[in-house]
Amino acid sequence: MSEKGEVDLTGAKQNTGVWLVKVPKYLSQQWAKATGRGEVGKLRICKYVSFTLNEELTVIEGIEDKTVSAPREHPFTMQSVGGQTLAVFTENSSDKIALEGVVVQRAECRPAVSESYMRLKRLQIEESSKPVRLSQQLQSPVTNNYKPVANHTYNLEYERKKKEEGKRARADKQQVLDMLFSAFEKHQYYNIKDLVDITKQPVIYLKEILRDIGIYNVKGTHKNTWELKPEYRHYQGEEKTDE
């Protein structure tokens, strides 16, 4: 495990220089749509730096208007790093960290202002200014709930379920004890309701059995819960005595 956490410093040693470029959201979206090798455009550097977006990437999805498209020309505004040291490190899918290099130049990618860009922006603004939640008035009141019925559907289902299950029958005491013991192996404290669910026994019968082998916690953190008597427990670190 000495590999983990070890930073690969080759980039720093070589003093690899990189550029940090701030790119508008729509442009990065377009770049994500690039096909093939991922070519997105051309970077022209002379006295100024500018980026030209490839033709095929100017079509913006989701906007039907054909006159609205992403602009092609994007001049870069170059900025200096200042005194700040900005390093770039990468994280692998296998959690390997490597230092790729140091930022030597910062730049901002701006779109060349054009009509289509303005329209695009306008659409964007309209979309983002829509409130997330909207109150609407209904034309007519909702009428398909809370109608008076003879018996609600939920109740009907409930009663049907009950009938199907039938009253809980008292099973053999030994069986019930086995069930209880196995349940108490999993957890120490149980609510009476949960025990009834697990064992499917009538409450009174179950309580009788529980009174034999368990105790009822009235106060403390585990309030109103049943637990096995100490002599029946065999949790870790405790003595075991069977019934």
**28 vs 155, beta carbon nearer other proteins:** 28
Largest CA distance in the chain: 94
Minimum distance, C-beta of residue 24 to other proteins, in the bound complex (Å):
6
**63 vs 183, beta carbon nearer other proteins:** 183
- Contact assessment for residue 115 and residue 60, using Cβ atoms and an 8 Å cutoff: no
Please select the residue that binds other proteins; options are 171, 194, 196, 208, rule is CB under 8 A.
194
**190 vs 209, beta carbon nearer other proteins:** 190
Please select the residue that binds other proteins; options are 84, 129, 145, 151, rule is CB under 8 A.
84
Binding mask 143-182 for other proteins (x = CB under 8 A): ----------------------------------------
DSSP category for residue 60? P
Site for other proteins in 88-127 (CB under 8 A): 88-93, 97-105
Q: What does the alpha-carbon distance between residue 41 and residue 53 come to, in Å, rounded to a whole number?
A: 4
Helix (H, G, I), strand (E, B) or coil at 105: strand
**What tokens does 51 get?**
């980026």
Q: What does the alpha-carbon distance between residue 180 and residue 208 come to, in Å, rounded to a whole number?
A: 13
Residue 132 interacts with other proteins (CB under 8 A): yes or no? no
Residue 191 interacts with other proteins (CB under 8 A): yes or no? yes
Residue 24 interacts with other proteins (CB under 8 A): yes or no? yes
**189 vs 205, beta carbon nearer other proteins:** 189
Q: What does the alpha-carbon distance between residue 117 and residue 110 come to, in Å, rounded to a whole number?
A: 11
Instruction: Specify the residue for token string 């377009």.
Output: 30
Residue 82 interacts with other proteins (CB under 8 A): yes or no? yes
Minimum distance, C-beta of residue 16 to other proteins, in the bound complex (Å):
7
Helix (H) or strand (E) holding 211: helix 203-213
**107 vs 171, beta carbon nearer other proteins:** 107
**5 vs 166, beta carbon nearer other proteins:** 5
Q: What does the alpha-carbon distance between residue 3 and residue 186 come to, in Å, rounded to a whole number?
A: 40
Half-sphere exposure of 229 (CA within 13 A, CB side): 11
Minimum distance, C-beta of residue 134 to other proteins, in the bound complex (Å):
23
**CB proximity list for 224: less than 8 A, separation 6 or greater:** 191, 192, 216, 217, 218
With 0-12 / 13-18 / 19 or more C-beta atoms within 10 angstroms meaning exposed / middle / buried, residue 145 is exposed
Q: How many residues bind other proteins (CB under 8 A)?
A: 71
Residue 12 interacts with other proteins (CB under 8 A): yes or no? yes
**200 vs 233, beta carbon nearer other proteins:** 233
Residue 25 interacts with other proteins (CB under 8 A): yes or no? yes
